[in-house]
Amino acid sequence: MKIVFMGTPDFAVACLKGLVEAKHDVCAVFTQPDKPRGRKMVMTPPDVKVYAQELDIPVYQPNTLKDSKALEIIESYAPDVIVVAAYGKILPKSIIDYPKYGCINIHGSILPKYRGAAPIQWSVINGDKETGVTTMQMNEGLDTGDMLLIEKTPISIDDTASSVFDRLATIGGELIVKTLEKAQKGELVPIKQNDADSSYAPMLDKAISEIDWSKDALTVHNLIRGLYSWPIAQTIFNGKKLKVYKSALSELSGKVGEVVSVSPLTIACGDKSVEILELQLEGKKRMDYKSFLLGHHIECGTNILEA
């Protein structure tokens, strides 16, 4: 098939790579504009742009799709289908309706659950045991189009949003190829979503990263792994921000916020406790708990909420 691809982060790279390796003709790529990143605010291209340029695929980065320019570019390529994966822009009806096979989206959840920008992270934060990828025939709504194919995968208690993200990216690259094969053969059977079963997965922000130690241990652990690798769950220790990158569940118990063990560093929650395995104190490097304790003497019974 002749394809215009729309996507931005590394999740979309795996999907684009799958199309290229399946010998589809990806004639153009649309992605978000370059953005400043890091402390020095260096203008950085999206992952999809980097990969597309390596393959000499023309790249377009419009600020908007609402004017006629984007459609004119698409019409000049006359694609059979537009494939969308984590692009980050709403497509107008004029673009959705243009290709023969319409616009097919690769979404990182089992729709209709987790419509929106951060389905993978919220599935981990909410402690789901299963997630997946859905290919969907796009319409003008937010992830409301008819479902085409679904591939599921389990979420383990040790999975992070990052590890699930990587797994779903691979699945997405395989599933979109299967979807296009069935589309060409006329074998797709679109299934309407049940709006009553839908939920919204809003974009993450730093406001949700503060750990509430009064919550049960599983909820705290899920937040920590769901916010990895951004924005990272955090707490306060001796008046400074303490980021928590990796944790595990513990059967130990104590007063909320109390250090109930230092091997490993374990903090009591509303029930039971959470082991803090990797962390980073404000102004310091990320390290494991053993390295942290070498520079910070903490005794059992210390309450980090009172420190």
pLDDT at residue 307 in the model: 64
Read off the pLDDT of residues 25-41 as tens digits, 9 standing for 90 and up: 999 999 999 998 887 88
Read off the pLDDT of residues 48-93 as tens digits, 9 standing for 90 and up: 999 999 999 999 999 999 989 999 999 999 999 999 999 999 999 9
* Alpha-carbon distance values, 239 to 165, 168, 247, 300 (Å): 33, 38, 21, 19
Task: Tell me the fold of 206-295.
Answer: Methionyl-tRNA Fmet Formyltransferase; Chain A, domain 2 (3.10.25)
pLDDT at residue 83 in the model: 98
**30: three-class secondary structure by DSSP:** strand
Q: Can you tell me the distance from the alpha carbon of 35 to that of 140, in angstroms, rounded to the nearest whole number?
A: 27
pLDDT at 99 over 80: yes
Predicted TM-score (pTM) of the model is 0.94
Average pLDDT, rounded, for the chain: 96
Q: What does the DSSP assignment read for 118-180?
A: -HHHHHHHTT-SEEEEEEEE--SSSS-SEEEEEEEEE--TT--HHHHHHHHHHHHHHHHHHHH
> Alpha-carbon dihedral of residues 22, 27, 31, 34, nearest 10 degrees?
110
User: Positive or negative, the Cα torsion across 260, 265, 266, 267?
Assistant: positive
Read off the pLDDT of residues 173-204 as tens digits, 9 standing for 90 and up: 999 999 999 999 999 999 999 999 999 999 99
* Residue 283 contacts residue 303 (beta carbons within 8 Å): no
Task: Tell me the fold of 2-197.
Answer: Rossmann fold (3.40.50)
The predicted model gives 111-132 an average pLDDT of 97
Q: What percent of the chain has pLDDT over 90?
A: 94
pLDDT at 252 over 70: yes
Q: Can you tell me the distance from the alpha carbon of 47 to that of 13, in angstroms, rounded to the nearest whole number?
A: 7
Domain boundaries, the chain: 2-197, 206-295
The predicted model gives 221-225 an average pLDDT of 98
Residue 168 pLDDT level (bands cut at 50, 70, 90) = very high
Q: Can you tell me the distance from the alpha carbon of 264 to that of 259, in angstroms, rounded to the nearest whole number?
A: 10
**12: three-class secondary structure by DSSP:** helix
